[in-house]
C-alpha cells in the first residue's frame, strides 16, 4: 500500500459508541487494506488496498476533536499495520486528547517485532498502543464467549507491560471482569 503520511486510506467514517471493540464507549477507525484474507472475515470489503477512500489525516484529527463521551479509540480494519505511519500519528493525537488506544491486527505480535527490525515505525506505534489484539481470525478457533476478539488464537496484549518486560503480557481479563463497569476505563488512561 502507498504510504502517504498526510493521508490514510479508510473503509468508513470514524464510528462512535462501539462497545465491542475494547472497554467503555469507543470510537473506531476502520482502515482499508488487508492481505490476511482470513476465512470467515466479517469485513472482506476492507481487503482491497485501493478500496475505501484516501482521507487527509487532518480530517481524522477534526473528527477526534468532535468526539463526545468516548473513552478510547480503536484502530481496526482492514489491518492498520499496513499504514503504520498514519496510524501512529492518529494514535498519538487521540492519546493527547485522553483516549486510550486499542489496535486490531492480523499479524502476530512476534511477526510485528520482526517487521520492526526493518522499519522502526512499528516500535514507535507499539509505544502508544494500550492493547494490541493480534493474530488472524481463524474460523475453526471461533469462540463467541471471548472478550473483545473472535477466535481463541487471538490475544489481548498489554503493550506497556509487554515492552517493559520484553515478553508478551496479556491484558488482565480477570481484573477487567471483576471490577465495576464505571471503574474499568481508567485502567488504561
For residues 79 and 130, which CB has a smaller minimum distance to ligand SF4 in the complex? 79
> Per-residue x/- mask for ligand SF4, residues 156 to 185, rule CB under 6 A?
------------------------------
Q: Which residues contact 131 (CB under 8 A, 6 or more apart)?
A: 22, 101, 102, 103, 156, 157, 158, 159, 171, 188
For residues 146 and 185, which CB has a smaller minimum distance to ligand SF4 in the complex? 146
The rounded distance, in Å, linking the Cα atoms of 130 and 187 is 10
CB of 181 to ligand SF4, least distance (A): 28
* Residue from the set 16, 43, 45, 153 that interacts with ligand SF4 by CB under 6 A: 43
- Judged by CB under 6 A, the stretch of 40-48, 89-97, 114-122, 123-131 that binds ligand SF4 is 40-48
For residues 36 and 161, which CB has a smaller minimum distance to ligand SF4 in the complex? 36
The rounded distance, in Å, linking the Cα atoms of 173 and 170 is 8
Q: Is 24 left (phi over 0), alpha (psi -120 to 50) or beta?
A: left
* Residue environment code for 97-126, b if the CB has 16+ CB neighbours within 10 A, otherwise e: eebbbbbbbbbbbeebeeebeeeebbeebb
- Judged by CB under 6 A, the stretch of 17-25, 60-68, 75-83, 162-170 that binds ligand SF4 is 75-83
Give the position of cell 485502567. Answer: 187
Q: Which residues bind ligand SF4 (CB under 6 A)?
A: 34, 36-38, 41, 43, 46, 77-79, 106, 136-137
Amino acid at each position: 500500500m502507498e504510504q502517504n503520511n498526510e493521508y490514510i486510506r479508510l473503509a468508513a467514517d470514524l464510528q462512535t459508541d462501539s462497545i465491542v471493540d475494547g472497554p467503555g464507549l469507543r470510537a473506531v477507525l476502520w482502515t482499508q487494506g488487508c492481505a490476511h484474507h482470513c476465512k470467515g472475515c466479517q469485513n472482506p470489503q476492507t481487503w482491497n488496498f485501493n478500496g475505501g477512500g484516501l482521507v487527509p489525516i487532518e480530517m481524522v484529527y477534526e473528527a477526534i476533536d468532535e468526539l463526545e463521551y468516548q473513552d478510547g479509540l480503536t484502530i481496526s480494519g482492514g489491518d492498520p499495520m499496513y499504514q503504520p505511519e498514519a496510524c501512529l500519528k492518529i494514535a498519538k493525537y487521540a492519546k493527547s486528547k485522553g483516549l486510550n488506544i486499542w489496535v486490531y491486527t492480523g499479524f502476530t505480535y512476534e511477526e510485528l517485532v520482526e517487521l520492526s527490525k526493518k522499519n522502526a515505525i512499528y516500535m514507535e506505534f507499539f509505544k502508544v498502543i494500550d492493547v494490541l489484539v493480534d493474530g488472524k481470525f481463524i474460523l475453526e478457533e471461533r469462540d463467541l464467549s471471548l472478550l473483545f476478539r473472535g477466535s481463541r488464537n487471538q490475544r489481548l496484549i498489554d503493550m506497556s507491560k509487554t515492552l517493559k518486560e520484553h515478553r508478551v503480557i496479556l491484558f488482565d481479563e480477570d481484573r477487567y471482569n471483576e471490577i465495576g463497569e464505571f471503574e474499568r476505563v481508567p485502567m488504561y488512561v
